[in-house]
Amino acid sequence: MTRLAGALAVFTVTALLTGCAHESPPRHSEAEVPTERATPSAPVTDKAAEDEAADVTLTETDEHGFEEALAARRGRVVLVDFWATWCLPCLAGFPHTVELYDEFHNRGLDVISVSFDEAEDHDAALAFLRKNHALFTNLRSKYGFDSEVPFATEGALPVLRVYGGDGELAASFTSGNPDAEPFTPQDVRRAVEEALDALESAGSDASNAASDETGDDV
């Protein structure tokens, strides 16, 4: 591992361990938002890249809209990433969320990201999502910075949750909370894999039960 790669890995883990305290977020322009996957400023000319960027959207919602989006994915494992552009640990960890989606979507993983950015930072949040190729469901809380209570998040951002195929919470990861265990990207990956294993096992059991019933009818 190079010194640069090692430094980046240490920063990411440290950021997730410390979290982003729930303090008044700084105002910023779109250009000030760090982008983990951003490339230098050459204009985008590739049509496929333009189409992919257009596929990344950000929708304002409240806690009820979030619950509806979550319920609509029942039967699949869902990873929820609560984040904000003013939260540097969120930006450092977000590429891991994208990586998990890319790797496990075909196995049954869906992702919902929920931004706690203010309305005036909507475009900056969307730009970050597009530059990170976040091709999943992206929501922005209409409450902005004051989303902690309606979305029942505790501690500091980022907050990540894993829901099983039955719609029940399987694992929760909170930053900066002295009452919660510190977590790393590997912990989130492990929780996702365990939920997917359980989903596949449940599907196999259901298939075997159906086969047994068919055999009994013959």
Q: Are 101 and 132 in contact (CB under 8 A)?
A: no
User: pLDDT tens per residue, the chain (218 residues)?
Assistant: 444 445 445 545 555 556 776 666 666 554 456 555 544 455 555 666 666 778 999 999 999 999 999 999 999 999 999 999 999 999 999 999 999 999 999 999 999 999 999 999 999 999 999 999 999 999 999 999 999 999 999 889 999 999 999 999 999 999 877 777 789 999 999 999 999 999 999 876 555 555 555 555 65
Q: At residue 185, what are phi and psi to the nearest 5 degrees?
A: -55, -30
The backbone torsions φ and ψ at residue 161, rounded to the nearest 5 degrees and listed phi first, read -130, 145
How long, in residues, is the chain? 218
Domains of the chain: 3-19+48-211 (3.40.30.10)
Does the pTM surpass 0.85? The reply is no
